[in-house]
Amino acid sequence: MRWLVGWSSTASGPVSSEGRAIQPVGAQLLWSDPDPLWAVGDWRPDEVRVVQTDPFTRLAVFGCCGASDEELRVGLFAARGGALRHLTAWPGSYTAVAQAGRRVTIVGDLAGARPVFHTDWGGGTAYATAALPLADLIEAQLDVGHLGALLACPDSPEAMGDGTPYMGVRRVPPGHALILRDGARDITGYEPTASLAVAAPPLDQDKAVDAVRDALVEAVRARLTAPRHAPETDDLDPGPVPGMGPAERRAARGAPAPGLGADLSGGSASATLALLAAGLPGMPGTLFGHGTEAGERLLAVTFNDLATAGGARTREAELERAGAIAANPRLHHVVVAAGEDALPYAGLDTGALTDEPGPSLVIAERHRRRLAAGSADHFIGHGARQVLDAHPARLADLLLDRRRRHLLRPATALAKADGPSAQSFFVPFTVYRAARRLARTSYRDGVQEAAARLMERHFIDEQALHGPGAVSASLAALTWCRPGPAARWLTGETLAEVSVRLEEAAVRPVLLRRPGERRADAALARYAADHRVFEQAAEIRSQRLHAPFLDNQVVRACRALPEALRVQPGARAAVLRSVLAGAGIRELPPGWGATSHAAHTAAVRTGMRTWTGELMTLFDAPLLADAGLIEARVVRKALRAAAQGERLPLDGLAELVSTEVWLRRLLARRGTCWTGTAAPRQRAVAGGVVPRPSL
């Protein structure tokens, strides 16, 4: 895990002895007192860049940034004058820290994949891009209330606020910057806000798609022009093994291949990145020639799940599309076959401790198999659905703008999504009524309604009327705020506490926004947080995962797409097809852009059925029950029913399992992130999971 950490102390008096006698373990000091900054972890040399105009004005950029040194200096001058948005306008994925005198500014990203955390410490404020080091610094206990809110309403910022799983450690919201002046902190947004009363004129559709293409091309080019790195490994190649080539032996040792690679699942997002990376000019290998053998340009990796019987037809179609795309001479195609040991819920007893819990923990081992066969710099298509697809609540935004005719096609597509039925004829009218109800519901009433549903344990709504499927999911999403899929298995006490959080959030003043925009941003932030958990849980030594769809410039370009385009069925595939056509790639295999929900659901059910014994053991005496969040008997019954094929929210069960696994790894942790004579004597959550006080 890589992170940066620093703090800002008060202006009066010398630097405290506490600040001088403590430092992160294995840290690289970038600048020293009175407001020091460290880079911690296995950062590459080109991933940490510092520009300085004088001893008190400097800028540090962490990650992959496509800006030149001169552009960084211009951004530093702009930030010194208060124009923070300039620090977020470069291609790539990075965190910027600017210092001007005693003012320190830490800029987070728009999606939330590179978060910033802060806490009170030493009379000032400490900040980091990871919450666990700050929890170690202040010897924080576990915030059980936040975990309950995370399980009850995972995509509702009203319930979670700016909290983290650690008491006293706070999160900077996406699209905001943390400004420290002599230890005092201020959080400010750097994106312009749109008026709720008057809608901005929509951007021309062709221009908006061109902007998405330019942003994606620049995001991919930023990775291509960066120096290439050969993986560092101390394990020697065991030599010839029957049935295994050099690539297979390297993957078995857990080392990625040199150079560039990409996922190639046959889907639209990963295929777009693979084709763009293969077609753009860049540096094909390392400085020493690694990764350039046989003229190979890009290593494309396809995952073949041999253990899932359900969804076989979908998987075969994906493999055929991936093979057709990989016929490009600039792609070297590798198919990774996996059995039961790569199903979801495999390897829960092993794995790295992540900064926070997330549903990705249950599939981390599954994806490690694929990523181990990838390259040192590997493209993945994560985030494409969240930034390109329209959240169902955007239908209400169209009604607010008096564009009713644009609801016809998405409502008709929903009627056909779940197949013909007796209710199919009434689906468009039902969707229109739900969108109109949301458009006429105020933010305060919507949040209070969600709080009431938690208190009443009202979790079966549209599914009871329309059955499971796309229609019920879309109708359930047409709200300001709603309980998450795991809420039905939480205790009444936990739901009551989360309900109180929602009631308090409903009466607080907030920036009024359209329901579709607010819900879409919240869903993106939740996904980006889980993507960060995925990066840490599935991390391969010497490998970097690149998700260009979560870059600032790509997110901005996708937000500028007209809503009337985004709500149309197949909009994501159409936009990406236009992006590839603009880059000169027009020949795509039949079925390109098809979804793979059926194959994913089948794999999850197969994994639950295969690892039922391990899941039952995990919840024999769960820590979540010790904390008062669940009843073990209820969750065991639900896991057993889901494994047998009963229709239950699989995402909710994944959240419960991943949170329990994270708690066990956290409490089994040894050591601390800090060293020195004044280092904390206890690690984070040293007291374990403590029972919550009664209401």
Identify the CA nearest to 153 among candidates 505, 432, 411, 664.
505
Q: Same domain for 620 and 639?
A: yes
262 neighbors 300 (Cβ within 8 angstroms): yes
In a domain, 38, yes or no: yes
Residue type, 37: L
Mean pLDDT, residues 569-589: 89
User: What's residue 14's pLDDT?
Assistant: 45
Output the average pLDDT for the chain: 86
Residues 421 and 552 occupy one common structural domain: no
Q: Is 402 exposed, middle or buried (0-12, 13-18, 19+ CB in 10 A)?
A: exposed
Alpha helices in 457-586 (DSSP H): 462-466, 470-477, 492-507, 515-537, 552-559, 563-566, 571-582
Residues 6+ apart with CB under 8 A from 56: 99, 100, 101
Q: Is 493 exposed, middle or buried (0-12, 13-18, 19+ CB in 10 A)?
A: middle
Considering the chain, what percentage of its residues have pLDDT values greater than 70? 86
List C-alpha distances in Å: 10 to 6, 168, 392. Answer: 14, 19, 47
Q: pLDDT (tens digit, 9 = 90+) per residue, 137-181?
A: 999 999 999 999 999 999 999 999 999 999 999 999 999 999 999
Residue length, the chain?
A: 695
For the chain, give the percent of residues with pLDDT over 90.
55
DSSP code, position 124: E
Would you place residue 695 in the very low, low, confident or very high pLDDT band (cuts 50, 70, 90)?
A: very low
Residues 430, 446 within the same domain: yes
Residue of higher predicted confidence among 247 and 256: 256
| Residues pairing with 490 in the sheet | 630
The total of other beta-carbon atoms located within 10 Å of residue 186's CB is: 11
Do 259 and 303 sit in the same domain of this protein? yes
Query: What is the pLDDT at residue 281?
Result: 64
pLDDT digits (tens, 9 = 90+) for 84-139: 999 999 999 999 999 998 899 999 999 999 999 999 998 899 999 999 999 999 99
Q: Residue 119: which of 160, 165, 171 has the closest Cα?
A: 171
230-249 pLDDT, tens digit per residue, is 776 655 565 665 656 666 66
Query: Is a pLDDT exceeding 60 seen at residue 198?
Result: no
Rounded mean pLDDT, 61-84:
93
The per-residue pLDDT for 340 is: 86
Band of the pLDDT at 465, cuts 50, 70, 90?
A: very low
234 inside domain:
no
CA pair distance 24, 672, nearest whole angstrom: 9
594 in a structural domain: no
Give residue-wise pLDDT tens across range 411-459.
777 666 655 555 666 777 888 888 899 999 999 999 999 999 999 988 8
Kindly tell me if the per-residue pLDDT of 197 is higher than 60.
no
Mean pLDDT in residue range 486-508: 95
pLDDT of residue 689: 56
**Region 365-369 average pLDDT:** 89
Give the residue numbers spanning the domain of 46: 3-193+671-675
Write out pLDDT tens, residues 371-385: 988 999 999 999 999
Whole-model pTM: value is 0.92
Q: Are 433 and 396 in contact (CB under 8 A)?
A: no
**Domain assignment present for 237:** no
Does residue 194 have a pLDDT over 80? no
Measured between alpha carbons, how far is 189 from 296 in angstroms, rounded to an integer?
A: 44
Q: Are residues 322 and 382 part of one domain?
A: yes
Determine the pLDDT at residue 564: 85
- Tell me: do 99 and 213 sit in the same domain: no
137 in a structural domain: yes
- Do 641 and 622 share a structural domain? yes
Q: What is the mean pLDDT of residues 35-59?
A: 92
Q: Omega into 174 within 30° of 0, i.e. cis? A: no
Calpha distance 250→252 (Å, rounded): 5
Specify whether 223 is located in the same domain as 78.
no
In a domain? residue 647: yes
The DSSP-derived string for 148-180 is HHHHH-TT-HHHHTT--SBTT-EEPPTTEEEEE
Domain membership of residue 686 (yes or no) is: no
The pLDDT assigned to 610 comes to 93
Alpha-carbon distances, residue 80 vs 91, 93, 278 (angstroms): 21, 22, 39
Helices (H), 280-342: 312-325
Number of domains in the chain: 4
Strands 298-305 and 257-263 come out as parallel
